[in-house]
Amino acid sequence: MYQCYIRDRKIIVNAKVLLVEDTPSLARVYAEYLKKAAFTVKVVETGAAALEAIRESAPQVVLLDLQLPDMNGMEILKHVSGQQIPTAVVVITAHASVNLAVEAMRYGAYDFVVKPFTADRLLVTVRNAVERLRLAQLVDTFTDELARGKYHGFIGASFPMQAVYRIIDSAAASRATVFITGESGTGKEVCAEAIHRQSPRKDKPFVAINCGAIPKELMESEIFGHVKGSFTGAVADREGAAARADGGTLFLDEICEMELGLQTKLLRFIQTGTFQKVGGTRLEKVDLRILCATNRDPLREVEDGRFREDLYYRLHVIPVHLPPLRDREDDVLDIARQFLSDYAAEEGKGFRRFHPAVEQVLRDYHWPGNVRQLQNVIRNVVVLHDGEEVTAAMLPSPLNQHLALQPQPSHRYQPASIEEPVVAHVADAYPVSPGPRPIRPLWLVEKEAIEEAIAACDGNIPRAAAQLGISASTIYRKRMAWEAEGRA
């Protein structure tokens, strides 16, 4: 079992070390040093045996001689970093191969020790490696466990939304265009504002233009501005959104509604960073970041000739897709509770909670209008009713119809009574299934899900982790814990 902690500045270690060394006399000496310092040591002589040992159970530290009889030690290093295995590789090298050792560090080796070395030098290096690994895992644990339930204007802690928050985190610092897609009411504007507020431009203007809401003939002037007298009604010079957003962010909402002629002008603006006001002759230059959004399928618009392909590829640099509300696990309840408390405060009403049956309807309804529809439903309830608890009878159409469609009594929604075992509910609610599924411990369900995902990804842990929506280090950490608890 891997234990490592600092007490009185002395590090006590019982970590696993894999020693890859093909000279038996040296291997014996090094192993002796490490065992005396309470490390668990496994010695292998070949690269193939090393890879096998790492696959079987990742050690905390690999002491790696680069010149192995069957392969270059660099291959092992590449495997460890490619699979993101939480192992610190320390290269053992002869004077002659110091350059190689330095190159190995470029591939992610933690350190190197030059032969011949003292026991002290070896132990200090290995202990530091173990400690660094422990700290890195601690950081990972906190990062994983700090699932964010709120992020700028978003509420929601579901996995799909965590992925959205992470993309925004990574994309915010760049100037690259972000293309936001998602059904109506999924929060595309909230997303654009989040990107701006997370970015270094946050203290500069955020200017949003809705390409679907402005008459087509005025659109060009809205974006680029106009000079006095350039068209009927242009009684004075006017700055457009591009000039107002200088230094900040320009959000082109409902971009697919923009007419083709203006798309050409927008493309030129993106390519050159310059534009002319309507009726103007002077080229103006601005520094801004463009975000755009649509609830259409942009590629379909390109295929159907309504959206310029070259503009699409210019804009579609970082895509962010907002999942529909029905795919966001229990976010719907978190958002609904927040809206209930906000609107109750605004309207001077006493609502504090939802009846469990209402919560179930909120969870099960398919929300074609997404968060905006949820907002309207809660506003409707708060304005038209009174009380502390929102009951099923208060729900407006079509949610009340949804309630009528539910099986009565609704086995999926009611908590099991003490007399009735939970399995009876499950069997009743899914009569087509051959019988009640046995209840298994949660760790086992989780372990099976993770192992199935790894198998489905042909053993590629980073890929399996990505599909499970967790980090590769989480998988490695869980594996270590199963091993430590005898559940491997």
Ligand X SMILES: Nc1ncnc2c1ncn2[C@@H]1O[C@H](COP(=O)(O)OP(=O)(O)OP(=O)(O)O)[C@@H](O)[C@H]1O
Positions in the binding site for ligand X (CB under 6 A): 153-156, 182, 184-190, 295, 335, 371-372, 375
Which residues, in sequence order, are CB contacts of 80 under 8 Å at separation 6+?
54, 62, 87, 89, 108
CB closer to ligand X, 322 vs 480: 322
DSSP string, 299-334: HHHHHTTSS-HHHHHHH-SEEEEPPPGGGSTTHHHH
Among 189, 334, 428, 483, binds Mg ion (CB under 5 A): 189
The binder of 182, among ligand X, Mg ion, none, by C-beta within 5 to 8 A per type, is ligand X
DSSP-derived pairing of the beta strands 318-321 and 16-20: unpaired
116: preceding bond cis by omega (within 30 degrees): yes
Closest approach of ligand X to the CB of residue 328, in Å: 8
Closest approach of ligand X to the CB of residue 151, in Å: 8
Per-residue binding letters, 313-352, with Mg ion (x by CB under 5 A): ----------------------------------------
> What does the block give as tokens for 77?
């290093």
The binder of 185, among ligand X, Mg ion, none, by C-beta within 5 to 8 A per type, is ligand X
Which part of the chain contacts Mg ion (CB under 5 A), choosing from 19-27, 181-189, 244-252, 257-265? Answer: 181-189
CB closer to ligand X, 162 vs 295: 295
Q: Where are the strands (E) in 329-393, listed by range?
A: 353-354, 389-390
Which part of the chain contacts Mg ion (CB under 5 A), choosing from 183-191, 196-204, 279-287, 325-333? Answer: 183-191
Query: What 3-state class would DSSP assign to 43?
Result: strand
d(CA 484, CA 488): 8
Tell me which residue of 307, 294, 311, 275 sits closest to 212, measured CA to CA.
294
Q: Does 22 bind Mg ion (CB under 5 A)?
A: no
CB 371 within 8 A of CB 335: yes
Q: Does 103 bind Mg ion (CB under 5 A)?
A: no
Strand partners, 252: 209, 292
Closest approach of Mg ion to the CB of residue 391, in Å: 32
CB closer to ligand X, 79 vs 372: 372
Closest approach of ligand X to the CB of residue 176, in Å: 21
CB closer to Mg ion, 184 vs 467: 184
The binder of 184, among ligand X, Mg ion, none, by C-beta within 5 to 8 A per type, is ligand X
CB closer to ligand X, 3 vs 184: 184
How many residues form the binding site for Mg ion (CB under 5 A)? 2
- Only one residue has tokens 């997303």, namely 191
Phi, psi of 277 (to 5 degrees): -65, 155
Q: Which residues bind Mg ion (CB under 5 A)?
A: 188-189
